[in-house]
């Protein structure tokens, strides 16, 4: 939100630029101060403060402050980085959704197309050759690994999600050249997953890592022949409940699945998906004609 306002600054009228400057100097103060005090600090009228909020795309001062608070608050440790203990339900809706949308847009702007292309190519080749694709994750990342297994399973691919540390080591030991090990981790610091990545590399498998850049797992994935899909976000993995990271990782899995589906082509895949839909439809109660 603040980046967007900085980008819009040159196009604003001079009076509204003064409002923008006091906002950028003290975002938290701006979110808490009344319009009269904001106008006095900027040396403008109260309507100018409201016009500024509308110029940058918000309904007015109240709407602007609510969404600003969702962007800059420190939050409640171990719950969510942007919420406060006295937030009402409508504030929770705005703050949590704004944080999630912001993280997804940040990834969209920062994602490296070349890395995604390399990951899709490796996965598609493994699918075409009937080789193994294993998804590894622990804790919350284990849930993402299960979602990845489900998505690839629908493509007719033999994919497996592994979340138990001992089974992960055994699974990685059985990998071979041409297989793919997709390792998902919010922090990139899980000892179990670092061990899995090292074993998979020794066995000649392609290691694709979805994690925070600069982490030990990210460092391993930057070695030749492997792929790092950096997923950076504002969530502190050591303090806050990892919801934004999970949504981000699920989105990356969806991108990979879609890329692989396009690479496999519609000749055999489309009939398979249609057949699955027909089979599932038979398992549902259909609405009555009356």
Q: Taken in order 128, 107, 115, 117, is the CA torsion positive or negative?
A: positive
pLDDT score, position 172:
97
pLDDT score, position 176:
96
Tell me where in the chain the CATH 1.10.10.10 domain(s) lie.
1-72
**Average pLDDT of the chain, as a whole number:** 86
Tell me where in the chain the CATH 3.40.50.10490 domain(s) lie.
113-266
149, 159 Cβ separation under 8 angstroms = yes
Torsion of CA 18, 24, 29, 32, to 10 degrees: 80
Nearest to 127, CA basis, from 223, 257, 249: 257
Please, which pLDDT band fits residue 52 given cuts at 50, 70 and 90?
very high
As a CATH number, domain 1-72 is: 1.10.10.10
Q: Which CATH superfamily is domain 113-266 in?
A: Glucose-6-phosphate isomerase like protein; domain 1 (3.40.50.10490)
pTM: 0.70
How would you list the strands of the sheet with 133-136, edge to edge? 159-162, 133-136, 180-184, 206-211, 227-230
Radius of gyration of the chain (CA): 24
Query: Does residue 148 register a pLDDT over 50?
Result: yes
Instruction: Annotate 235-266 with DSSP letters as a single string.
Output: --TTTS--SHHHHHHHHHHHHHHHHHHHHH-H
Which has more confidence, 268 or 105? 105
pLDDT score, position 270:
66
């Amino acid at each position: 939100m603040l980046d967007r306002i900085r980008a819009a600054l040159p196009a604003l009228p001079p009076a509204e630029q003064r409002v923008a400057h006091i906002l950028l100097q003290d975002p938290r103060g701006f979110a808490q101060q009344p319009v009269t005090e904001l106008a006095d600090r900027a040396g403008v009228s109260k309507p100018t403060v409201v016009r500024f909020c509308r110029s940058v795309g918000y309904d007015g001062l109240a709407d602007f402050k609510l969404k600003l608070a969702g962007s800059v608050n420190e939050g409640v440790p171990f719950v969510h980085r942007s919420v406060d203990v006295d937030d009402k339900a409508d504030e929770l809706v705005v703050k949590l959704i704004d944080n999630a949308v912001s993280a997804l847009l940040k990834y969209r702007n920062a994602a490296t197309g070349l890395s995604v292309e390399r990951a899709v190519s490796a996965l598609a080749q493994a699918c075409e050759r009937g080789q193994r694709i294993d998804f590894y994750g622990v804790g919350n990342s284990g849930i993402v690994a299960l979602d990845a297994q489900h998505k690839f399973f629908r493509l007719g691919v033999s994919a497996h999600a592994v979340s138990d540390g001992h089974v992960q080591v055994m699974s990685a030991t059985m990998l071979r050249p041409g297989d793919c090990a997709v390792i998902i981790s919010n922090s990139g610091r899980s000892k179990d997953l670092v061990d899995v990545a090292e074993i998979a590399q020794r066995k000649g498998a392609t290691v694709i890592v979805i994690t925070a850049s600069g982490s030990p797992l990210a460092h391993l994935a930057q070695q030749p022949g492997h792929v790092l899909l950096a997923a950076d976000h504002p969530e502190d993995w050591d303090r806050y409940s990892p919801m934004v990271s999970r949504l981000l990782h699920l989105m990356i899995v969806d991108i990979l699945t879609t890329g692989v589906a396009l690479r496999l082509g519609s000749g055999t895949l489309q009939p398979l998906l249609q057949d699955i839909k027909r089979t599932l439809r038979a398992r549902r109660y259909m609405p009555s004609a009356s």
